[in-house]
Amino acid sequence: MSHSLPSDVFPLGIATKILFDDNAITAVSSDFGGIIVGRRPLGVFCPWSEDDIVQLVRSAYESPKPFSITARGRGHSDSGQSVSTGGITIDMRSLATGAQRIRIRVSSENGYSPYVDVGAEQLWSEVMLETLKNGLSPRTLLDYMDLTVGGTLSVGGLSGQAFRYGPQVRNVHELDVITGKGELVTCSKKHNSDLFFSALGGLGQFGIITRARIALQPAPTKVKWVGLVYTDFEAFTGDEEYLITLDGTTGKKKGFNYIEGFVFLDHNQVSSPFFSDEEVAKISAVTSEHGGAYFIEGAIYYSDDTAFTIDQEVESILEGLHYTKGFKFIRELSYTGFVDRVQCEEEKLRRVGLWDIPHPWLNLLVPKSRIHDFHEGVFKGVFKQGNTMGVILIYPLGKNKWDERMSLVFPEEEVFYKIGLLLSSFPVNLGCVLRQRDEVLRFCEKNKIEAKQYLPHYKKIEDWMKHFGSKWDRFVEMKKKYDPKAILAPGQCIFSSPLV
Ligand code: FAD
């Protein structure tokens, strides 16, 4: 792959939209993770339209010395996936600020299921703002909505609604994708389905997504938020696993619309935008006393016309659960207040200088049958010292809401846990936290816990082959078909040389 470009490689209309100055390049030479720094592309391309991207990719593909292309959304990857050395980085957000501006169009004709067509450069928060004007909302959201549609559809898109509706990639009807050959292809389950399924969760390897058609549902106006604290891990996971069975399927009682779980390893971690200071103190005390605690966060949606039954519904869901007596918290929020909860935390962390520090995250999908071993080895083992900075997520998901045909990889068991070790670290401690992260992976490997990385990062091809397992041959076949010169998304470190 060429790391320098002959000056005549770009058509004129493209060359004028590439920034080569130090500021532009420095701005894309790292990502949110802050672990990979100083990978510098040759230039930053600011497209005004999809056609600009088509022309750029074509010029790379047709060049005698093909150069790499990295589509960059918000650069919120954690291990350099949106960063490249050499080649051209596309600032996808330029599409939202250039000639076309907002590319979000809601369709809600009577008799049809509503959907929204969105430019892949749009943030989910922008999508939400537009759909709410029509009383509609995407089904599976993100904890943090300031990420691009293209960036999350390339990885999967998981949040507390996924037990009900599957990951975000499961809620897509159609895509426009610019392949590594510079062809703009519309694809869906029925048309060009191999590209459709490959691109969803495909880590940007088969094409640059430029538009997605996403399923919508009626938006609630209000949310009952419920927080439950546990000191016993078995009781906690037992209740989580029970709660995800209340998924709205016919014949079952109505359950939560959103379920996530958290581990508080020590009192430093007790935090929620919805706790008062007194509640934090109370939960911190129980966390210190028991050497850790667990927390289920549930949310049930409603609107004015269902407000009179909501308390009864909440009580019915909570019946028979095993949380610690006196540790049930209930709040009434607006839907937007609930959806924006992590952005509010971002503002707080920015104010105290804790947002722009390294984030050595590790996200895993762990089979349910091994979650207790994982708990003993990781939360009571690797992290037993305490003083961990960051959030730890742990909540179960059902495989029946996922689709095997997509590139997104998940464990074989019917139920698996999403574990998010969303750690942060001061630069001086980064080495130590990275070692802990490696230790977690080694623990899984040594104890044959068949965990799959979500937002994977590997350096060796053997590890990628293992990650994709039975999907690997198909992954390579699709790469040969749609990006044979391995131009796209080099920051994922999967294919480093052309396949033809
Ligand atoms: P980038 O980091 O810019 O890109 C990531 C990868 O996708 C790169 O390889 C890039 O080349 C590729 N890519 C980007 N745009 C396109 C495109 N249009 N077409 C093809 N490939 C493309 N994930 C969840 O699932 N749920 C969450 O709740 C969640 N919360 C998060 C909260 C925070 C604070 C952060 C930092 C991350 C969170 N993530 C979450 C992870 C996040 O979904 C991924 O890191 C995602 O890839 C970031 O989107 P981005 O727009 O920043 O993409």
pLDDT tens profile 130-159: 999 999 999 999 999 999 999 999 999 999
Its pTM stands at 0.96
Q: Inform me whether the pLDDT recorded for 8 exceeds 80.
A: no
Q: How far is CA 214 from the centre of its chain?
A: 16
Atom of ligand 1 nearest to the CA of 155: 47
Tens-place pLDDT, residues 150-195: 999 999 999 999 999 999 999 999 999 999 999 999 999 999 999 9
Determine the residue of 72, 262, 402 to mutate for testing ligand 1's pocket, defined as the one with the most ligand atoms within 8 A of the Cβ atom.
72
What is the Å distance from ligand 1's center to 75 Cα? 7
Tokens encoding 468: 């994709």
Predicted pLDDT at 1 = 61
What mean pLDDT do residues 358-369 have? 97
Whose Cα sits closest to atom 36 in ligand 1?
76
Predicted pLDDT at 250 = 66
CA-based R_g, the chain, Å? 23
Rounded CA-CA distance 397/408 in Å is 14
Whose Cα sits closest to atom 17 in ligand 1?
150
What is the Å distance from ligand 1's center to 248 Cα? 29
In angstroms, what CA-CA distances link 128 with 124, 207, 382?
6, 25, 39
Give 382's pLDDT tier (boundaries 50, 70, 90): very high
Number of H helices, E strands in the chain: 17, 18
Average pLDDT, whole number, for the chain?
A: 93
Tens-place pLDDT, residues 209-268: 999 999 999 999 999 999 999 999 999 999 999 999 997 776 778 899 999 999 999 877
Tens-place pLDDT, residues 404-430: 999 999 999 999 999 999 999 999 999
Predicted pLDDT at 421 = 97
Count, residues in the chain: 500
Rounded CA-CA distance 391/295 in Å is 12
The yes-or-no answer on residue 313 being catalytic is: no
The yes-or-no answer on residue 143 being catalytic is: yes
Show the 3-state SS of 36-89: CECCCCCEEECCCCHHHHHHHHHHHHHCCCCCCEEEECCCCCCCCCCCCCCCEE
Give 108's pLDDT tier (boundaries 50, 70, 90): confident
In angstroms, what CA-CA distances link 79 with 41, 145, 484?
16, 20, 24
What is the Å distance from ligand 1's center to 85 Cα? 19
Whose CA is closest to 148, among 85, 56, 211?
211
Identify the active-site residue in 31, 52, 76, 483: 76
- Check if the beta carbon of residue 118 is closer than 8 Å to that of residue 95: no
Predicted pLDDT at 6 = 60
Rounded CA-CA distance 288/266 in Å is 6
Determine the residue of 90, 152, 346, 493 to mutate for testing ligand 1's pocket, defined as the one with the most ligand atoms within 8 A of the Cβ atom.
152
Rounded CA-CA distance 76/148 in Å is 9
Rounded CA-CA distance 132/181 in Å is 37
Enumerate residues lining ligand 1, CB below 6 A: 31-32, 70-77, 81-82, 92, 120, 142-144, 147-148, 150-152, 154-159, 203-204, 208-209, 455, 489, 491-492
- Check if the beta carbon of residue 485 is closer than 8 Å to that of residue 207: no
Q: Is the dihedral of CA 479, 70, 190, 413 positive or negative?
A: positive
Q: How far is CA 60 from the centre of its chain?
A: 29
Q: Inform me whether the pLDDT recorded for 498 exceeds 80.
A: no
Give 322's pLDDT tier (boundaries 50, 70, 90): very high
Determine the residue of 147, 364, 424, 492 to mutate for testing ligand 1's pocket, defined as the one with the most ligand atoms within 8 A of the Cβ atom.
147
Residue recorded with tokens 């880590």: 203
The amino acid occupying position 248 is G
What is the Å distance from ligand 1's center to 149 Cα? 8
Whose CA is closest to 344, among 392, 447, 412, 273?
273
Atom of ligand 1 nearest to the CA of 70: 11
Q: Phi/psi at 302 (nearest 5 deg)? A: -160, 175
Tens-place pLDDT, residues 286-315: 999 999 999 999 999 999 998 999 999 999
Predicted pLDDT at 270 = 83
Predicted pLDDT at 97 = 80
Whose Cα sits closest to atom 15 in ligand 1?
151
User: What is the three-class DSSP state of 9?
Assistant: coil
The amino acid occupying position 357 is I
Show the 3-state SS of 376-433: HHHHHHHCCCCCCCEEEEEEEEEHHHCCCCCCCCCCCCCEEEEEEEEECCCHHHHHHH
Determine the residue of 28, 50, 54, 76 to mutate for testing ligand 1's pocket, defined as the one with the most ligand atoms within 8 A of the Cβ atom.
76
Atom of ligand 1 nearest to the CA of 454: 25
- Check if the beta carbon of residue 62 is closer than 8 Å to that of residue 17: no
Whose Cα sits closest to atom 47 in ligand 1?
151
Whose CA is closest to 315, among 302, 327, 330, 301?
330
What mean pLDDT do residues 354-380 have? 96
Atom of ligand 1 nearest to the CA of 33: 36
Q: How far is CA 458 from the centre of its chain?
A: 17
Residue partners of 341: CB distance under 8 A and separation at least 6 = 143, 273, 274
Residue recorded with tokens 């607006």: 334
What is the Å distance from ligand 1's center to 150 Cα? 8
Identify the active-site residue in 121, 126, 174, 260: 260
Atom of ligand 1 nearest to the CA of 204: 21
Rounded CA-CA distance 43/434 in Å is 30
- Check if the beta carbon of residue 66 is closer than 8 Å to that of residue 117: no
What is the Å distance from ligand 1's center to 477 Cα? 24
Q: Is the dihedral of CA 239, 240, 242, 247 positive or negative?
A: positive
Whose CA is closest to 401, among 380, 417, 419, 415?
415
- Check if the beta carbon of residue 285 is closer than 8 Å to that of residue 249: no
What mean pLDDT do residues 393-409 have? 97
Tokens encoding 132: 């709410």
Range in 9-18, 130-139, 327-336 the model is least confident about: 9-18
